[in-house]
Amino acid sequence: MSEKVTVVLVPMGERDKGEYDRLLLEADESEEMIARYKHRGDMYAAYTEERLLGIAILLPCTEKMVEIKNIAVCRGEQGKGYGKQFISCLEEKAKEADYKVMVVGTANSSLDNLAFYQKVGFRITGIKADFFLQYPYPIWENGIRALDMVILKKNL
């Protein structure tokens, strides 16, 4: 059983820490793309005791919809239930801000991510065709080239 996760808002002035950047790059391999949204939404860090477990950025889409723009759990901590706890905490933060819908996008090649999001209640609602062609280099996962972004949604 995993330890309890605590999620805290990361103040704007503390967002450029190397440990946060390394985690953001695990979920989005393009520093250029991360720079486009890193300071536009709310950044949350997940901890257990004093140990950093993960990082996420929530970006408002509309008055009632928020997007998980980037989320990553440290590689050594994956598969232990921390990601599920982190998502649950993010959902609570979104509800507190009066959001009704949460969306997340992931690559067509991110098979583990697609399974994870569906296990925590997200449903596939759309595809942004050719989204990953705007990245500076091809991304490959599971022997599949990342071309399209799969959009998943969950009512809060």
pLDDT in tens, 28-70: 888 888 988 988 999 999 998 878 999 999 999 999 999 999 9
Decide if 26 is inside a domain: yes
Number of domains in the chain: 1
Torsion sign across C-alpha atoms 29, 33, 34, 37: negative
CATH value at residue 88: 3.40.630.30
Count the Cβ atoms, other than its own, within 10 Å of residue 128: 13
The alpha carbon of 10 is separated from its chain's Cα centroid by a whole number of angstroms, namely: 15
pTM of whole model > 0.95? no
Residue 16 lies in a domain: yes
- On whether residue 37 sits in a domain, the answer given is yes
Whether 1 is in a domain gets the answer: no
Domain interval for residue 75:
6-155
User: From CA 53, how far away is CA 74, in angstroms rounded?
Assistant: 6
Q: If pLDDT is split at 50, 70 and 90, which confidence band does 10 have?
A: confident
CA angle, residues 86, 141, 39, in degrees to nearest 5: 45
